[in-house]
């Protein structure tokens, strides 16, 4: 609420920033609050809580907001850190919030991960309750059903988070890629629908020199669903960029039929 009312984030991008960083956190808070209220009422109704499985069976099917929140989490963290490093006013506000007693000396960014980490803890918690329940307790049948539902949501969260991370990596990579000056551009089609980054890793190129030890150059390899790109890391204006590597090792060239740009288009192989 302070971010939406105070002049901490410039007005022109304030609403978008809040939507990106916090996502649908209010929807998550709503279902969590109602679950907490139901558990509290059960706890206050008796000195000993006999069962909780029925409550979880009622509320776990309403955990749909966790999926959307989990998928947005990577983007939210990125925007949060970017704003904190570029906006001194926001950085000071974050520092003030983290100093408050209710923050419990934890980083604000850490609270943004709480919904998904809490969801992942439910199966262990509910299984422990089930294991310590009497055989004639309804929780013996209710809690396994609730755990199965939670695991279904966790699987969906992981799928959507993976898609979001893939898109996030592709966008950042597209912004970092460049060609050497004077060379024609090569469209990697990274923003095409369904595009996937399958693997990335470092390569060591060894150029043997007569009468001396081999020199080594560190290259970066990106394997997509449609092509293989080999790049060199360059720093331009204090910003890390990837220059498409023009020359490919002869053995690698024979193996993957690389073209002079250091790119292998699987459609043409």
Alpha helices in 112-261 (DSSP H): 114-131, 139-176, 250-256
| No. of helices (H) and no. of strands (E), the chain | 10, 6
Q: Is there a contact between 178 and 237 (Cβ–Cβ < 8 Å)?
A: no
Percent of residues, the chain, with pLDDT higher than 70: 81
Query: Tens digit of pLDDT for each residue in 183-241?
Result: 667 677 888 888 888 888 887 666 544 444 444 456 888 888 888 888 887 776 666 77
Strand partners, 235: 240
Residue 200 sits at the vertex; the CA angle it makes with 198 and 206, to the nearest 5 degrees, is 140
Predicted TM-score (pTM) of the model is 0.74
Nearest to 186 by CA among 223, 219, 227: 227
pLDDT value at position 92? 95
pLDDT value at position 54? 96
State the Cα–Cα distance between residues 17 and 80, nearest whole angstrom. 8
pLDDT value at position 250? 41
Cα end-to-end distance, the chain, whole Å:
55
Q: Which of 26-40, 109-123, 142-156, 179-193 has the lowest mean pLDDT?
A: 179-193
Q: Is there a contact between 71 and 164 (Cβ–Cβ < 8 Å)?
A: yes
pLDDT value at position 254? 41
Residue-range domain boundaries for the chain:
2-177, 197-268
Fold of 2-177: Dbl Homology Domain; Chain A (1.20.900)
30 or 269: which leads in pLDDT: 30
Q: Is there a contact between 205 and 230 (Cβ–Cβ < 8 Å)?
A: no
Q: Is there a contact between 214 and 205 (Cβ–Cβ < 8 Å)?
A: no
Query: Tens digit of pLDDT for each residue in 241-264?
Result: 787 764 333 434 444 444 444 554
Q: Is there a contact between 194 and 178 (Cβ–Cβ < 8 Å)?
A: no
pLDDT value at position 93? 94
Query: Tens digit of pLDDT for each residue in 81-110?
Result: 999 999 999 999 999 999 999 888 888 888
Q: Burial of 28 by CB count in 10 Å (0-12 exposed, 13-18 middle, 19+ buried)?
A: buried
Helix, strand and coil content of the chain, in percent to the nearest 5, comes to 60, 15, 25
């Amino acid at each position: 609420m302070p971010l939406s009312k105070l002049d901490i984030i410039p007005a022109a991008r304030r609403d978008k920033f809040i939507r990106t960083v916090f996502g649908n956190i209010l929807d998550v808070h709503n279902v969590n609050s109602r679950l907490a209220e139901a558990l509290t009422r059960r706890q206050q109704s008796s000195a000993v809580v006999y069962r909780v499985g029925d409550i979880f069976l009622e509320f776990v099917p309403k955990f749909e907001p966790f999926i959307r929140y989990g998928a947005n989490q990577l983007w939210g963290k990125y925007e949060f850190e970017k704003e904190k490093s570029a906006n001194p006013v926001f950085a000071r506000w974050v520092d003030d919030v983290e100093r408050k007693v209710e923050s419990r000396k934890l980083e604000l960014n850490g609270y943004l991960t709480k919904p998904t980490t809490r969801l992942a803890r439910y199966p262990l918690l509910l299984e422990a309750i089930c294991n310590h329940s009497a055989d004639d307790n309804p929780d013996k049948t209710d809690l396994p059903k609730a755990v199965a539902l939670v695991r279904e949501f966790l699987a969906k969260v992981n799928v959507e988070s993976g898609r979001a991370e893939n898109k996030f990596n592709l966008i950042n990579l597209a912004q970092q890629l460049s060609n050497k000056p004077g060379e024609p551009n090569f469209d990697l089609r990274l923003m095409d629908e369904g595009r996937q980054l399958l693997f990335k890793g470092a390569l060591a190129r060894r150029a043997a020199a007569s009468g001396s030890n081999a020199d080594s150059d560190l290259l970066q390899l990106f394997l997509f669903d449609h092509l293989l790109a080999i790049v060199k890391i360059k720093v331009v204006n204090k910003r890390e960029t990837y220059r498409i590597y023009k020359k490919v090792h002869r053995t690698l060239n024979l193996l993957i039929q690389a073209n002079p740009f250091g790119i292998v288009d699987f459609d043409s192989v």
